[in-house]
Structure formats: structure tokens, C-alpha cells
Amino acid sequence: MSPTALIGVDWGTSNVRGFRYAANGEVIETRRLEAGLKWVVAGAWAAAFETHFGDWLQQAPDAPALLCGMVGSRQGWSEAPYVECPAACHALADHLHQVPGTSLRIVPGLCTVDADGVPDVMRGEETQLVGLDVSEPSAVCLPGTHSKWVSFDGQRIDAFQTMMTGELFDILSRHSLLAQMSEPGAADSCAFARGLDRAAGGSGLLHELFGVRTLRLFDKLAATAVPDYLSGLLIGHELASITDLVSADTPVTVIGSQELASRYVTALEHRNRAVQVVDGETAAARGLWRIASRAGMVTSS
């Protein structure tokens, strides 16, 4: 086993990703566990960490460890206070939160407040952003149950917005009248594009959702096409609402896993946006290393 320079952990709501780094910052081992916050019994965080990464610690007792994600939330191991947005990347390294009674540190989340006084938050995504190689003002899209859109130039996280797209898709698919009108089927890219186009028409999401029902009623949409049409409708509305955050000609970086990211790429290209995709795990691993380096936890090579 190569010497461990850093243990990095992205500990989210559902999943845990552990990274063991060599001294040059290279990830020499990755561990993927379905052991996120929702599976951790209150008060049992230290035991959970020991279970998942005890062998790494044993072999490198002096290796520093840096965590990010929901582990730093109020429901997590120890609450890491938010850093306010706009925030320079180094501000994250300057505000690491030490878990009491341990030498572990947690990357703070980010918070922001909009003109209406409504706050927004992220935990974990800030570390993925630091892991990006971006050198000009960009829009970053992080799809998920609650997808996030960020205005970022590689040095400073300027603003961001969270959307309930994924969760709404899920509850509409399972609990609305559309559930009865929908059947699973092969991916239907035409239905997805139709949903995207419909969302651009401007008649409002509440009306367009009812339209899924009437399209079925008049046999203008197949039951197997409903999931992709609905997905296109919701993602289309998401894209329509980010215009305040990012201008139409800003290049977009999508951070995410294969399937969901490709859905957003299709949607963005359908809107004639330039898009690149970065794998979420890679971004998180790189971000943890960079933050640890900036905080002097490791000697960056």
C-alpha cells in the first residue's frame, strides 16, 4: 500500500466517497459506499467513520483527513458554519471546521441570500467547484434531486440557485395523476425534446403539467413517452429560470454522473448552449485535495 498523504471524504445524504491520496495528489484508492447521512444513526458518526475508513487510518495514523458534504450539516457529524457567497475559493480553506475531539476537518458549505431575502445553501458542491479547471466566467450546473446552478470563474463562486427539479419529477411520477398515465419504456429522446420545447412556450408549469394528462387523453403522447416528456418539461423550466444567474452566451459545465448529466447536456445543446461535462467524483476528489493544500494540511506538489 502506497503511503497516504491525505484521506478525503465526500459524505452526502445518500452516498459516501472516500479518496486516499499519494503525496503528489493522485488518488490511489477510491471507496464508494451507500452509507450517506440518512443511514447514519445519530451519535454514531465516529463509529461510522471508523467502520468505513478505519483501515486507512490504521495504516497512516498521521494522515490528515478532510471531509465535505452533508456530514457538516446540522443533521451531520458536526455543523460547519456556512461561508457567505460571493466567496473566493481560498475562503473555504480558511474556514475549515474541526470536528470536536478529532483531528478531522470539514469543508464549510456556502450560503447566499437573494433580493427577496430568501436564503439558498450548498454542501459538497462547493468542493466539486474547487475541483474544476475553469479560467473564465462560467455557468456550472450540478444536476440532482435538488440541482444547482452556479456562476463561477475558477477563483470565486459568485452566486448560485437550487431547483427542486429532480424531487418534483420523482413525486409527480409516483404520486400525481400522471403516474397512472405513464408506463416505463425505452428512452424517448423525441418526447424529451417535446417537453423541452413545451417549457419554452411560456404557458406556465402548472398548466403544462395538466397538458401531459390531456395529451394522453387524446392519444397525442404514448404512455411510455410520459417520463421523458415530463423530464423535458421540468428541465426546460429549470433552464428558463437561470437566465438571471447566467447570460445566454456563458459556457456551461455540467458536473455529474453519466445519465443525469447527459440529460442536461441534451437539454442545453437543444437550447444551443456550449457544454462540457466533468465527472462529479473526479471533481470532488480534486477539490478536496486543493482545499487541503490551500489549508496547509498537505504539501501540494
* Residues engaged in binding a copy of itself (CB under 8 A): 114-121, 146, 161-165, 167-168, 171-172, 174-177, 197-198, 201-211, 214-215, 217-218, 220, 234, 237-238, 240-241, 244
Give the whole-angstrom CA distance, residue 142 versus residue 125: 8
Residues in the chain: 301
With respect to a copy of itself, which residue has the nearer C-beta, 73 or 253? 73
With respect to a copy of itself, which residue has the nearer C-beta, 157 or 168? 168
Give the whole-angstrom CA distance, residue 69 versus residue 221: 40
**Cβ 231 to a copy of itself shortest distance, Å:** 13
* 19, 163, 171 from 168: Cα distances, Å: 32, 9, 5
With respect to a copy of itself, which residue has the nearer C-beta, 241 or 266? 241
**Cβ 179 to a copy of itself shortest distance, Å:** 10
What is the rounded (10 degree) CA torsion for 197, 203, 209, 215? -70
**Cβ 128 to a copy of itself shortest distance, Å:** 18
**Cell 468542493 appears where?**
127
**Cβ 94 to a copy of itself shortest distance, Å:** 23
With respect to a copy of itself, which residue has the nearer C-beta, 46 or 200? 200
**Cβ 241 to a copy of itself shortest distance, Å:** 3
With respect to a copy of itself, which residue has the nearer C-beta, 188 or 208? 208
Give the whole-angstrom CA distance, residue 171 versus residue 118: 24
Sign of CA dihedral 245, 132, 85, 20: positive
**Cβ 248 to a copy of itself shortest distance, Å:** 16
**Cβ 31 to a copy of itself shortest distance, Å:** 28
With respect to a copy of itself, which residue has the nearer C-beta, 61 or 202? 202
With respect to a copy of itself, which residue has the nearer C-beta, 160 or 289? 160
